[in-house]
Chains A and B, each alone.
With several copies, the nearest count.
Chain A
Amino acid sequence: MSEAKKHKVKDIFVEGAIDPTFVSESIAKHATRMDIGAHEIFLGQVRADAIEGRAVVAIEYTAYREMALERMTDIREEAFTRWPEMTCLHVHHSLGSIAAGQLCFMVFASAAHRKQAREAVAWVVDSVKEQLPIFGKEILSDNDHVWKRNA
């Protein structure tokens, strides 16, 4: 049974932005997995939305860590049940201040065939956004702020 299937509580949080090289290192680690045919990766990037004429320059993320990790463990377990062909699932989310243009969220699934990896990533991304107690303070160009909320 693979590491990912043990469903232990994994820390998904990283301080600061997710570096693109972290993504390539994650990809490279799968080169020894001869049963993988497809990787699907979602990356969230901080968007410089205009709010009442002021641009978002950064988002400061905080979380209720303990609850977030419990919900993530449930989501991970359900994902491996729903998509049994999935061999690996990696989720990371930033905490702290993430500037516009930087990456704050990664969901990475691998499977023998593309359909399971694709469906799993879509469902995990949506589940994380809906269920994890993560909070985002959007810092505006005039130093004012607004609190982000997922639709």
Chain B
Amino acid sequence: MKVLLFGLIAEKAGSDHMEIPATSTADLDRQLQDRIRGLKGLSYSIAIDRTIVHGDRALSGSEEIAVLPPFAGG
């Protein structure tokens, strides 16, 4: 599935998105940390269909997934 990356995370990844075949957010986390150097020490949230989720969630593959560093609006 396509995973959207923003701000510092996109900078670390060198791209604003990645194709990651993840079955859950925990699985997604592991794969992101494998593929993005330095991600583990960073603070970030996962949004599914534009809402931030906490804890592990199953993913069907049809969701809109985004990885969000700390917000800085205003």
Interface size of A in residues (CB-CB distance below 8 Å): 30
Q: Are A125 and B6 in contact (CB under 8 A)?
A: no
Q: Are A128 and B73 in contact (CB under 8 A)?
A: yes
Range class of the B interface residue count: 10 to 19
Q: Are B71 and A131 in contact (CB under 8 A)?
A: yes
Closest chain-B Cβ to A59's Cβ sits at a distance in Å of 8
Chain-B contact segment, one of A21-29, A48-56, A64-72: A64-72
Residues of chain B contacted by A149 (CB below 8 angstroms): 69-72
Q: Are B71 and A150 in contact (CB under 8 A)?
A: yes
Closest chain-A Cβ to B41's Cβ sits at a distance in Å of 13
Interface string of B47-74 (1 = CB under 8 A from A): 1001100000000000010101111111
Q: Are A133 and B47 in contact (CB under 8 A)?
A: yes
Say yes or no for A93: interface residue by CB 8 A criterion: yes
Say yes or no for B8: interface residue by CB 8 A criterion: yes
Assembled-state Cα–Cα distance A150/B69 (Å): 11
Q: Are A44 and B66 in contact (CB under 8 A)?
A: no
Q: Are B69 and A135 in contact (CB under 8 A)?
A: yes
Most buried by A among B51, B69, B70, B71: B71
Residue of B nearest to A125 (CB): B74
Assembled-state Cα–Cα distance A150/B50 (Å): 20
Interface string of A122-151 (1 = CB under 8 A from B): 000100111111111100000000011110
Q: Are A150 and B73 in contact (CB under 8 A)?
A: yes
Do A148 and B72 contact each other (CB < 8 Å), given the known contacts A67-B66, A137-B7?
A: yes
Say yes or no for A108: interface residue by CB 8 A criterion: no
Interface string of A101-129 (1 = CB under 8 A from B): 00011000000001000000000010011
Say yes or no for B1: interface residue by CB 8 A criterion: no
The 6 closest A-B pairs by CB, nearest first: A135-B7, A134-B73, A136-B72, A149-B70, A148-B72, A67-B50
Interface residues of A (CB under 8 A from B): 44, 59, 61-64, 66-68, 70-71, 93, 104-105, 114, 125, 128-137, 147-150
